[in-house]
Structure 1
Amino acid sequence: MSIGVIAPVGSMGAALAAQFDLPLLESAPATGHYLVWDRERLALAEAGEKARVEVDLLEGAQAHRRKFGGGRGQPVAKAVGLKAGNTPTVLDATAGLGRDAFVLATLGCTVDMLERNPVACALLADGMRRGTEDAAIAQIVARMRLQQQDARNWLPEHGQPASYDVVYLDPMFPEPDKRARAKKDMHAFQTLIGGDADADVLLAPARRIARQRVVVKRPRTAPWLAGVKPDFCFDGESTRFDAYLPML
């Protein structure tokens, strides 16, 4: 069932609903998820729950990470090979809410983003829209480009060999149990999106597009994508970044 949007006709919320082919609702449903236009921003809500999910590039966790996250010393920056003399172009083929894409754009990378889920696209597009209105991060957001596309189709059909330095994959991994749950707001998003059980098919075409490497973000104990051992990896406390050399 499609997720609907509660937004006044003529509002930016209604425009986002039209852009991503999401129905407009007159009121919140009795159960399930819905999008709501509130305080001049779009948020994902769940009936009976107070927690909401929105993309905020100006304040909160993203702002803190931009200011105090460690710059090029961050694991994701090291994983894509970002260093003096190398600021790679990146295709984030499973963009989600654009959190890592924003970090990479903050550090100077141009990041093209693919996301197939219209709800995630609407939330991310709204966050980027608000970001362009703030002088502090407008130049960062200008380095981010979003397309509503399914990477399973886009990579083999539209990706040209060696067209990006790095292809970045962060498929949603199913939560193994309640102890591993994300924060309550992100759990609502993960519940809606579900695990990307079909992500294995992305690795081979991604390796044909990347000039330098493909980087796959995984939970620390998760199996390798498509069962393929990476050429090298970067380990973190709860996640790891598996890196694969291109196959041109």
Structure 2
Amino acid sequence: MPFFLFDILARGRGPFLKEKSSATFFLFLVLSLLLLILPLKVKESLSEIVFSFAYAPFYSVANQIGELYDVHQVNRVLNEKVTRLTLENSRLQEKERENERLRQVLGFKSESSYQLIPAEAVAAEPERFPSLIWINLGEKDGIRKGMPVINIDGLIGRVSEVLVGSSVVQLLYHPNCRVAALDTRSRVQGIVRSKGGVMLNLDNVPTEEDVKVGDEIYTSGFSKIFPEGLKIGQVLKVSPAKDPVFKIIILKPAVDFSRLEELFVIKI
């Protein structure tokens, strides 16, 4: 037994025991004796146990870091899958919208009393409100200058130039475009044209004529260019003009000119 243990036993309740409880002292004494008399293998086992207890907090932290890394990897994989599925869903929705448009186009073509030639817009002027577009049909497809161009919503314009495999279409927004028009409710007639901007004007309507907001405006057929019954737009605003003879009538076009896709050329 080490000398310091005999020294402690000899002194009895010295300053050390005064500061610590008897239980703590005897526990320390027993552990010291055990360490002296236990075999080497047992000591090594005890050392491993003590080391494992000491290392446990560090192992726990390392394990938590590893788990966080695993969670991060799983989240990354899941996010990639969600992104792919979202893109695929968007693609399928666009396909469905395209199929619906084609069904409407085919239905419109079969119900129309006109001889229609399907076409596609392939280019447009680089303007906010373009007045010219190019279509994928030309002289070889039977397209001729002056033919009206429509879609399922209404009148778009007319063919102004024909090439071999493509044509130029003059839209309702073009400053030279004039359309003889008719209010389908009151039968009042006027001339539709653009004065800039996204809206159209119905001109040459006397102040005493009956035109109201919400009235539908169609081609009247009095022009040799556009046949009767093509929808142009709806009356958005009616107000007296500075000129006391004619009203100022603003139309909202039936066609969304920012979304010109499936078109038809009327063969006349």
Q: Give the TM-score normalised by the residue count of structure 1.
A: 0.24
Q: Give the TM-score normalised by the residue count of structure 2.
A: 0.23
Which structure is larger by alpha-carbon Rg, 1 or 2? 2
